[in-house]
Chains A and B, each alone.
Chain A
Amino acid sequence: MRSNLNFFSDEKFRSIFFQTLVIGLFALGIYFVVQTTGYNLEKRNIATGWRFLSDPAGFDISFSPFINFKSTDTHLDVYFVGVLNTLLVSFCGCIAATILGFLVGIIRLSSNWLLVRVAYIYVEFTRNVPLLLQIILWYSILIQLPRVKQSLEFLDIFFISNRGIYSPRPVFESGFSYVFIAIILAFISSFIIRRWAKNRQDETGKQFPVLSSAFGLIIILPLLLFFIIGSPMSFDYPALKGFNFKGGMVIRPEFIAMFLALTIYTAAFISETVRSGILSVTKGQREASASLGLKKSWIMRLIIIPQALRVIVPPLTSQYLNLTKNSSLGIAVGYADLVHGFGGISLNQTGQAIECMVIVMATYLTISLTISVFMNIYNRSIQFKEK
Chain B
Amino acid sequence: MNDITESRKPPVATTGILGWLRMNLFSTWVNSLISLFVLYILFQFIPWILNWTIFAADFKYNFNGEEIVNREMCSRVLDPENGGACWAIIYVRFYQFMYGFYPREEVWRVNLSYIMLAVAVVPLLFDNFPFRKHFLKFTYIFPVIAFFLLNGGLGLESVSTNKWGGLLVTLVLGCTGIALAFPLGIILALGRRSNLPVISMMCTLFIEFIRGVPLITLLFFGMVMLPLFLPEGIDMDGLARVLVAVTLFQSAYMAEVIRGGLQAIPQGQYEAARSIGLSYWQMNLKVVLPQAIRISIPSIVNTSIGLFKDTTLVIIVGLLDLLGIGRGALADTTWLGLAYEVYFFVSLVFFIFTFAMSRYSLYLEKKLKTGINMGAD
Contact = CB atoms under 8 A, between A and B. Distances in A.
B86 to A, nearest CB: 15
Given A18-B196, A140-B339, A329-B313, A357 B220 contact: yes
Given A115-B34, A132-B315, A125 B351 contact: yes
Interface in B294-348: 305, 309-313, 315-316, 323, 327, 339-340, 343, 346-347
Contacts of B316: 329, 331-332
Contacts of A343: 217, 220
A233 interface: no
Contacts of B343: 133, 136-137, 140
Given A114-B25, A136-B343, A23 B213 contact: no
A328 interface: yes
B229 interface: yes
Contacts of A40: 227-229, 232
Contact of A326 (B196, B214, B339, B347): B214
A365 B209 contact: yes
B78 interface: no
Contacts of B42: 114, 118
B335 to A, nearest CB: 14
Contacts of B228: 36-37, 40-41, 353-354
Contacts of A347: 220, 224
The A interface is mostly helix, strand or loop, or mixed, namely helix
Interface in A103-134: 111-115, 118, 124-125, 127-133
Interface string A33-50: 100110111000000000
The B interface is mostly helix, strand or loop, or mixed, namely helix
Interface stretch (B99-107, B124-132, B178-186, B197-205): B197-205
A364 interface: yes
B210 to A, nearest CB: 10
Contacts of A118: 38, 42
A43 B315 CA distance: 29
A15 B195 contact: yes
Contact of B197 (A19, A332, A360): A19
A357 B323 contact: no
Given A15-B196, A112-B35, A357-B225, A368 B212 contact: yes
B367 to A, nearest CB: 19
B212 A114 contact: no
Given A15-B196, A329-B313, A133 B229 contact: no
Interface in A302-339: 325-326, 328-329, 331-332, 339
Interface string A1-43: 0000000000000010011001100100000010011011100
B252 to A, nearest CB: 13
Contact of B355 (A19, A39, A124, A357): A124
Nearest to B21: A113
Given A111-B31, A114-B25, A118-B38, A36 B209 contact: no
Contacts of A129: 309, 347, 350-351, 354
Nearest to A43: B232
Contacts of B220: 339, 343, 347, 357
Given A113-B24, A128-B354, A26 B31 contact: no
B225 A353 contact: yes
Interface string A128-170: 1111110011001000000000000000000000000000000
A357 B224 contact: yes
Interface string B333-377: 000000110010011001100110010000000000000000000
A365 B312 contact: no
B221 interface: yes
Given A133-B347, A353-B225, A365 B213 contact: yes
A279 interface: no
A128 B355 contact: yes
A364 B213 contact: yes
Nearest to A117: B38
A361 B211 CA distance: 11
B162 interface: no
Nearest to B323: A133
Contacts of A19: 196-199
B198 A23 contact: yes
A2 to B, nearest CB: 18
A113 B202 CA distance: 51
B216 interface: yes
A357 B199 contact: no
B225 A354 contact: yes
B318 to A, nearest CB: 12
Contacts of A41: 228
A369 interface: yes
B156 interface: no
Contact of A364 (B214, B309, B340): B214
Contacts of A124: 355, 358
B351 to A, nearest CB: 5
Kindly name the residue among B31, B35, B214, B343 whose own CB sees the greatest number of chain A CB atoms within 10 A.
Answer: B214
A328 B216 CA distance: 7
A377 to B, nearest CB: 18
Contacts of A137: 339, 343, 347
Contacts of B339: 137, 140
Contact of B217 (A36, A131, A140, A328): A328
A362 to B, nearest CB: 9
Contact of B38 (A15, A115, A361): A115
B278 interface: no
B268 interface: no
Interface of A: 15, 18-19, 22-23, 26, 33, 36-37, 39-41, 111-115, 118, 124-125, 127-133, 136-137, 140, 325-326, 328-329, 331-332, 339, 343, 347, 353-354, 357, 360-361, 364-365, 368-369
Given A115-B38, A365-B212, 9 more contacts: A39-B232, A112-B27, A112-B35, A114-B42, A118-B38, A125-B351, A133-B323, A137-B339, A357-B221
Instruction: Please name the 10 residue pairs, one residue from A and one from B, whose CB atoms are nearest each other, closest first.
Output: A113-B24, A325-B214, A328-B214, A128-B354, A130-B309, A19-B198, A368-B212, A130-B312, A353-B224, A365-B212
5 contacts: A19-B199, A36-B228, A112-B25, A128-B350, A364-B212
